[in-house]
A = this chain, B = another copy of it.
Amino acid sequence: MLDVLQRPVDRLDPLDRQIIGCLTRDARATYAVIGDEVGLSAPAVKRRVDRLVADGVIRGFTALVDPEVLGWTTEAYVEVFWEGTPSPLELRRSLGEVPEVVGAWSVTGSADALVHILAADIPHLEEAIERLRQQPNVHQTRSEVVLSRLIDRARP
């Protein structure tokens, strides 16, 4: 009863967590291998994975690609300052207009949003930030260009 109020986390048992652990380490692991590791048969693992995907616990599977190889060597975090008090929806729509924006979060502190930008090089980055500044209501930006990637841990 009252399933809508039950947070999804409550539906994850230790087996689910172990399976998620296996898949975050190697998304191409076979159900049989995962089953060996968690002590389940392959069909049982498949049913759980299907359920986790259907429930939105697992949003998808992706390959981790070395960004340098793709030629996107330039990265920056940009604090965005807004005129007035924008709704998350407005922010999402406005920031989403710039394709180089790969991540964005509304944050506490003086800035309204923190935006993660990937670009091919410095001129490309500069141009992307310029387009960001031209979005309606964007008042000011403060950029920190990434010099080197120190840590990039997969999910816990």
Residue ranges of A at the interface with B (Cβ–Cβ < 8 Å): 7-9, 12, 17, 20, 23-28, 56-72, 75, 77, 79, 88, 91-92, 95-96, 99-109, 111, 113-114, 118, 142-156
Contacts A/B (CB < 8 Å), 19 sampled: A9-B68, A9-B70, A12-B69, A26-B60, A28-B28, A58-B66, A61-B61, A70-B155, A72-B156, A79-B144, A95-B150, A101-B153, A102-B155, A102-B156, A103-B151, A106-B147, A108-B143, A109-B145, A111-B144
User: A141 to chain B: closest CB distance in Å?
Assistant: 12
Pair B61/A104 contact, Cβ less than 8 Å: no
With A57-B69, A101-B153, A150-B95 known as contacts, the answer to whether A145 contacts B108 (CB < 8 A) is yes
